[in-house]
Amino acid sequence: MKIRFTIDYKTLWGQSLGLLCKREDSDAEFEFFNMYCDSQSLWHVEINIDQTPAILYQYVIVDKDKSFHYEYGGGRNLSFKSDFGFVVINDVWRGPYGDGPFKSTVFQNIFFKRIPVSVELNPGDLLLRLNCPQIEPDRHFAIVGNQPALGNWDVAKKVRLSENEFPFFEIRFNSKDLVFPLEYKFLIVDTETDEVLAWGGGPNRKIQSFVPESYTIVNDEHFERTIDSWKGAGVAIPVFSLRSKKSFGTGEFNDLKLMIDWAAKTGQRLIQTLPINDTILYHTNYDSYPYNAVSVYALHPIYLHLDKIGKLKDKSRKEYFEAKQQELNEKTFSDYQHVMNVKWEYFQEIYPQERKKIFASEDYKVFFEKNKEWLVPYAAFSYLRDLYGTPEFGKWDQYSVYNKNEIETLCQPDKPQYHEIAIYYFLQYHLHRQLSEVHEYAKSKGVAIKGDLPIGVSPRSVDAWVEPELFNTQMQAGAPPDDFSVTGQNWGFPTYNWELMAQDGYLWWKKRFQKLSEYFDAYRIDHILGFFRIWEIPVNDVWGLTGSFNPALPFTREELQSRGLWWNEERFLKPYMKEHVLYAIFGKYTDDVIREYLLPDGWQNYKFKPEYDTQKKIEAHFALLGYNFGNKELVIRDGLYMLHCEVLFLRDARDSEKFHPRISMHSSASFRDLNDETRRTLDRIYVDYFYHRHNEFWKQQALKKLPALISATNMLVCGEDLGMVPDSVPDVMHALEILSLEIQRMPKRPNTEFAMPADAPYLSVCTTSTHDMNPIRAWWEEDPTLTQRFYNVALGLPGPAPEKCEQWIAEKIVDQHLQSKAMWVILPWQDWMSVETKLCLEHPFAERINVPSNPRNFWCYRMHITLEKLLKEEKFNKKIREIIYHSGR
């Protein structure tokens, strides 16, 4: 069979086009073919291929250096229903036109799920195909054109396209019935009324000629929609924050069903959660931190609904747990440690009662076989953590270094500890079943569940134990100073060895994404900036101020000197600890600090005593004070941390002869004490380093990783792109059609205090707040001066702002967001509740979930009313439904 590929594309000087092609039923690699340009921008190539029912192919741009730039959207697939001797394929270059999100499972399997209407394709030798996933299930495509077979532009004679190959819509003609050139347009038609809702935008589509004795396929792309694009609303709430009559002191997977019911009742289409992976390290409230996963696969046992595991046969024990359930459910917060302790009692009692039946079931056997690669190491890790009393696997004697054979031996059924390990198989199986059930329930209600993919894993995790080579354990991931924390954020996670991960095509990440897709149809990439570069903090530091970006392009001494900086290693790299600096930081405690923590180092200059020469040593020292830690100790500890940050440059961790400017150096005493000329020179270096030097470099880093990762599943991809955002980030997210996050209080435009929801791009999630900030009502009371400016500028209201966020103000803020053109408006549950004062929690500041500047934050927020009661609030629910409906969502 001969196939001629033709595509219209204007290349840059020195570039050409190529084709990658192979039979779909072949295991061979794609074969490359050079394409040829006849005139202007029309490229073609003819190839011979054995008769086949389908082919896979993709166009590529070939640069001068012979490197490839792939067409957007992955490979193309084309099936042939009959045998043809000569096939002509006319294609259009695929770009990021905004349709990508509609190819995700959120739309394909839930919102736009279609029952294909069989439209018989006429016999013929010309096939027109329109690739358009953005079409609501109660609408279809039709075609009109410039001749009788196409209705002569009369919409009453439009011809419906077949949708059997959705998202491709097809129609076939016999070329003998047509006169060329052929002109046509596609129409969106209401299926029920047959009314034409919209004509496709742009100029008429044209086919200039037809190749005789051929079967010609015209693939049309990029339908220009002339009516509003689809928009939806949703709610964000952590699973642990849910409250129902049946929950057990904290939210459970089972409670999501009632939240799904509420979303459906109020016209919301999506529920966004926080991470739900196991975080058990110390069996304390420290483990409530949902981003500190001990396994990127295992789910957290705290979310299990006990009755669904099995009912205890011992009546007295049943009564005991029922009493505990009532006691814990009456608490105003999610009492993590207490709930986990009681649930673990239940697990240990239900396991021996139910294990034989579960382990013998076919469903369990399938689950175990599919997941044993991660499940067995996870169960062994959990057992060893408790056996040795620490998650620090370096202290586990013979098991400190993971050995697959040793762990498999440890986990054998004939070993005495087997059931202490197998209980984790049992729990993970039930977690999988319960969350899978919720996922199916959500789809049946037309609601999607959006997961959260943390950027990091715990340094004391199964992943770091099993594959330590994938992590830089001598570094900690975090974020530079921003609106959340002026000293930066130190998350404590190891950074990634991206070079090694790239060698197998990022398999670790792909498997992680694929596991997530078992339970979710959309996900949020936490700190997507980490795929461009990560803020990396030395393992001995506590604050984020002494971090640097990785990968990065640090300066050599020679480069700094060529920019006019007289290099002084002693002055730029050592903490600047002049006596006047100490008095400015410590005030009346200065003499105590000098006496206990410092040593003289020249005239009116000091250095740290060896026992305090890192921030981690200082942290450990003050941790020993326990209840004796008061305000004085806080001032001294944080002042000592600050002294460690009194540097202007940081030595690169991988090349000691290169240097990074310290972030926020302008606020340091070291910078202020320099002469004017040196400050101006440093300022130029600083601006170049943080705002210009890395843009293209970081863009290429992201383009190496993100396409491979997001293509591992068909979920809707959203990115959390907040903080110090490089200029290249929006370009990459647009090119990959990843939805951005837009928050009114965190504008992305420079010199702008408040972002306007009306300016949010279509491919975005627009929201009032996140779990890392106060919800609307509490934020309103944080800073009256700021609130006043927001009232006058962002809301456009005259006069003084009310002291509290009254109901009408909350309604205006929520409506302002709903009226935006963003694809999604997903609001925290607390902010939805703010539009009805009678239902609000009395104390607004109790609604906050996390304080990013506090690494020991207790994640314990819980709804103040039950979901059952919420579902009965008919007036309120109708109000939410109506404001969403009237916003066009």
Q: Give, to the nearest 10 degrees, the angle between helix 362-388 and helix 336-360.
A: 140
- Per-residue pLDDT tens digits for 261-280: 999 999 999 999 999 999 99
* Weakest-pLDDT range from 118-127, 754-763, 771-780, 873-882: 118-127
Task: Tell me the pLDDT band of 118, cut-offs 50, 70 and 90.
Answer: low
| Segment 570-580, tens digit of pLDDT | 999 999 999 99
pLDDT attached to residue 121: 62
Q: Could you say which DSSP state residue 597 is in?
A: H
pLDDT tens digits, 146-184: 999 999 999 999 999 999 889 999 999 999 999 999 999
**Looking at residues 313-337, what average pLDDT do you find?**
97
Inform me whether the pLDDT recorded for 123 exceeds 80.
no
Q: Are 382 and 407 in contact (CB under 8 A)?
A: no
DSSP, res 477: E
What confidence tier does 120 reach under pLDDT thresholds 50, 70, 90? Answer: low
Residue 560 sits at the vertex; the CA angle it makes with 558 and 561, to the nearest 5 degrees, is 65
pLDDT single digits (tens) 826-871 = 999 999 999 999 999 999 999 999 998 787 899 999 999 999 999 9
Task: Tell me what percent of the residues of the chain surpass a pLDDT of 70.
Answer: 99
pLDDT of residue 742: 97
Question: For the segment 657-703, what is each residue's pLDDT rounded down to a tens digit?
Answer: 999 999 999 999 999 999 999 999 999 999 999 999 999 999 999 99
Q: Does residue 133 surpass a pLDDT of 80?
A: yes
Q: What is the DSSP string of 200-212?
A: --SSPEEE----T
Helices 728-735/695-710 angle, 10° precision = 30
Q: What is the pLDDT of residue 854?
A: 83
What's the pLDDT score for residue 84? 79
Q: In the predicted model, what is the mean pLDDT of residues 223-237?
A: 96
HEC string for 45-66? EEEECCCCCEEEEEEEEECCCC
What whole-number percentage of the chain has pLDDT above 90? 90
Residue 130, number of CB atoms within 10 A of its CB: 22
Q: Write down the pLDDT at residue 336.
A: 97
For the cut 80, the answer to whether the pLDDT of residue 808 exceeds it is yes
pLDDT band at 85 (very low <50, low <70, confident <90, very high): confident
Please, what sign has the CA dihedral across residues 276, 277, 279, 283? positive
**137 has pLDDT over 70:** yes
Q: Mean pLDDT score of the chain, rounded to an integer?
A: 95
Write the single-letter amino acid at 109: N
Question: Where is pLDDT greater, at 674 or 50?
Answer: 674
- What CA–CA distance (Å, rounded) separates 102 from 223? 13
Taking the complete model, does pTM exceed 0.85, yes or no? yes
- Minimal CA–CA distance to 842: which of 830, 850, 853? 830
pLDDT reading at 119 higher than 70 = no
Following DSSP, what letter does each residue of 203-264 receive, concatenated?
SPEEE----TT-EEEEEE------SPPP-EEEEE--GGG---TTS-SS--GGGHHHHHHHHH
